[in-house]
């Protein structure tokens, strides 16, 4: 029998009606002859509410205890989904991450999956029972409960699909697939029928949160085909899979934006060998994830170095930069926490010059100033003022002709 893993996100199980609708869909899939394994997120905004509660209670919040708290959210959904399935005459059993055999490292709140044992799930499937697994959680090699980072139920679902050799993994959410831009920002965004892992990795890495980055990496590494679909309309969605000859090589497939990073600038840095090395070594040793870096050409023997870091790592990064500045004779450390990164992603970019020029021209027309630039073979990203982020996404979406009428294959305006 074909095996399908179905993941239901927070909005999809947001209230009792939604849970019954999800159970109904699981029951239909089961009755159509497929074996089903389910991964569920916490209901609605439960995880956000639990984090807020923790913040109200304590300034310290040890990772182990935070994980213990947050995993409660998914426990609620898995039990309720099983009850709704029982109502429909479908045998189902809930499993925590630990019971499902999801073994992780010990990095609380952002653990990585090391192994999925899955014996109890296989046993349940053999008995004709639908296993419903709490997403976003695992158990460390030290036997403590861990979580996989925000949005981690996507990772749970893909990891289960890989471990159980599922034929496909369906990610049910509140939009009908992966779009050319976040449909909340660009109402005319178009749903993509198919997208390659390569492009999806860039989309997820630059703010397209419909699939969390780690789940896409996992799916690509383990060859798990994904389908992103709506749990509201149930219509066919977007397939994420290996690139093949039938796939359109759109010059630009999607436009994304991300406000999760902040910019630091160290001014008046002496322009001599070893300065950048000492700064970025100190940041690396403190586990700060530096993303973009720009160093200006020097005037009078000094230069400015700007770089972006995740907002959550700002305090540590500032502490390190301010500690180092006097030692390297730098002038000052400046922080800009109101920046956004806007990116255009497309596999066809590799063979089509002019994509960058089109991007810069479009931003210029909107009077949006570009603060930093970085590229990969299939992505161009610009750091802009956070207040301009949505406007930037809309103007770029338009400039590359990605709206419903366009095919995303050719830029709408000159520039190649
Ligand atoms: P879930 O709770 O189901 O995991 P998420 O909120 O994590 O849902 O992800 C779905 C959301 O991702 C959508 O509601 C949409 O606003 C957002 N999103 C951002 N970029 C895109 C994109 N390119 N295509 C589709 N959705 C996107
Ligand atoms: N509930 C978790 C979160 O909100 C995991 C998930 O939804 O995927 O991040
Ligand atoms: Mg999500």
pLDDT single digits (tens) 34-49: 999 999 999 999 999 9
> Cβ atoms within 10 A of the Cβ of 349, count?
24
Tokens of 371: 């603060």
pLDDT of residue 261: 97
Q: Whose CA is nearest to atom 1 of ligand 1?
A: 9
CA 267 to centroid of ligand 2, rounded, Å: 39
CB 137 within 8 A of CB 47: no
Which is the closest atom of ligand 1 to the Cα of 153? 4
Distance separating alpha carbons of residues 78 and 74, to the nearest angstrom: 6
Query: 153: CA distance to ligand 2 center in Å?
Result: 6
User: Given this model, what pLDDT does residue 246 score?
Assistant: 67
Which of 150, 158, 228 most suits a substitution to test ligand 2, by most atoms within 8 Å of the C-beta? 150
pLDDT at 350: 86
Across the beta sheet with 137-140, what order do the strands follow? 113-116, 102-104, 137-140, 145-147
Can you tell me the distance from the alpha carbon of 145 to that of 186, in angstroms, rounded to the nearest whole number? Answer: 39
Ligand 1 pocket (Cβ < 6 Å) reads: 9-12, 41, 151, 173-175, 178-179, 181-182, 184, 203, 208-210, 254
Strands (E), 135-277: 137-140, 145-147, 168-173, 194-196, 226-230, 238-241, 254-258, 261-270
Ligand in nearest proximity to the CA of 46: 2
The pair of structure tokens assigned to 391 is 């406007």
**Model pLDDT, residue 297:** 77
Tell which atom from ligand 2 comes closest to the C-alpha of 9: 7
| Whole-number pLDDT of residue 248 | 66
For each successive 10 residues of the chain (416 residues), what is the average pLDDT?
97 98 98 97 98 96 97 98 98 98 96 97 98 98 97 98 97 97 96 95 96 97 97 97 77 96 95 91 93 86 94 95 93 97 94 92 97 94 98 97 60 37
Residue carrying structure tokens 């020029």 = 357
Map residue 6 onto helix, strand or coil.
strand
Which is nearest to 144 in space by CA: 63, 34, 46, 87?
A: 63
Pocket test for ligand 2, best of 48, 49, 136 (most atoms within 8 A of CB): 136
Whether the model clears a pTM of 0.85, i.e. scores above it, the answer is: yes
CA dihedral 309, 315, 320, 325 (to 10 degrees): 90
User: Parallel, antiparallel, or unpaired: how do β-strands 194-196 and 226-230 relate?
Assistant: unpaired
Ligand 2 center–CA 151 separation, angstroms:
4
Q: How far is the CA of 69 from the centre of ligand 2 (A)?
A: 13
Report the pLDDT value the prediction gives residue 152, as an integer from 0 to 100: 98
Q: For the stretch 105-143, what's the b/e string if a residue is b when 16 or more beta carbons lie within 10 angstroms of its beta carbon?
A: eeebbbbebeebebeebbebbeeebbbbbbbbbbbbeee
Which domains does the chain show, CATH number per domain?
3-174 (3.40.1160.10), 245-416 (3.30.2130.10)
**Pair 237, 177: CB distance under 8 Å:** yes
Residue 299's pLDDT is 78
Determine the pLDDT at residue 404.
65
Q: Which atom of ligand 1 is nearest to the CA of 231?
A: 3
**Pocket lining for ligand 2, CB < 6 angstroms:** 9-10, 41-42, 47, 73, 135-136, 150-153
Helix or strand run (H / E) with residue 336: strand 332-336
| 127 CA to centre of ligand 1 in angstroms | 35
DSSP string covering 237-301, please? -EEEE---TTS---S--EEEEE-SEEEEEEEEEE-STTHHHHHHHHHHHTT-----EEEPPPBTT
């Amino acid at each position: 029998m074909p095996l399908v893993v179905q993941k239901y996100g927070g909005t999809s199980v947001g209230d009792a009606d939604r849970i019954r609708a999800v159970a109904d869909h699981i029951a239909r899939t089961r009755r159509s002859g497929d074996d089903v394994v389910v991964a569920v997120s916490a209901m609605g905004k439960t995880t956000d509410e639990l984090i807020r509660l923790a913040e109200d209670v304590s300034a310290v919040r040890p990772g182990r205890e935070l994980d213990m708290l947050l995993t409660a959210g998914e426990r609620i959904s898995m039990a309720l989904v099983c009850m709704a399935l029982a109502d429909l005459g479908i045998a189902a059993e809930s499993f925590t991450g630990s019971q499902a055999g999801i073994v992780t490292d010990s990095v609380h709140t952002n653990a990585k999956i090391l192994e999925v044992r899955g014996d109890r799930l296989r046993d349940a499937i053999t008995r004709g029972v639908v296993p419903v697994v709490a997403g976003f959680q695992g158990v460390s090699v030290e036997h403590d409960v861990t979580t996989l980072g925000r949005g981690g139920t996507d990772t749970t679902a893909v990891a289960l699909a890989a471990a159980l050799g599922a034929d496909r993994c369906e990610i049910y959410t509140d939009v009908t697939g992966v779009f050319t831009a976040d449909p909340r920002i660009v109402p005319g965004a178009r749903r993509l029928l198919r997208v390659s892992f390569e492009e999806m990795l860039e989309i997820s890495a630059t703010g397209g949160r419909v699939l969390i980055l780690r789940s896409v990496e996992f799916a690509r590494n383990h060859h798990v085909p994904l389908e992103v679909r709506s749990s509201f309309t149930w219509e066919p969605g977007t397939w994420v899979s290996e690139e093949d000859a039938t796939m359109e090589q759109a010059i630009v497939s999607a436009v994304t934006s991300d406000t999760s990073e902040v910019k630091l600038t160290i001014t008046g840095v002496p322009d001599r060998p070893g300065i950048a090395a000492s700064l970025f070594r100190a940041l690396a040793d403190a586990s700060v994830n530096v993303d973009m870096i720009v160093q200006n050409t020097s005037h009078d023997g000094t230069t400015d170095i700007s770089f972006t870091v995740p907002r959550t790592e700002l305090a540590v990064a500032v502490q390190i930069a301010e500690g180092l500045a006097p030692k390297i004779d730098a002038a000052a450390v400046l922080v800009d926490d109101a920046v956004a990164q806007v990116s255009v992603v497309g596999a066809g970019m590799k063979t089509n010059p002019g994509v960058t020029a089109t991007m810069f021209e479009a931003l210029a027309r909107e009077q949006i100033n570009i603060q930093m630039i970085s590229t990969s073979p299939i992505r161009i990203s610009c750091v802009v003022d956070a207040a301009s982020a949505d406007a930037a996404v809309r103007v770029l979406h338009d400039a590359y002709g990605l709206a419903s009428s366009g095919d995303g294959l050719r830029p709408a305006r000159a520039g190649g």
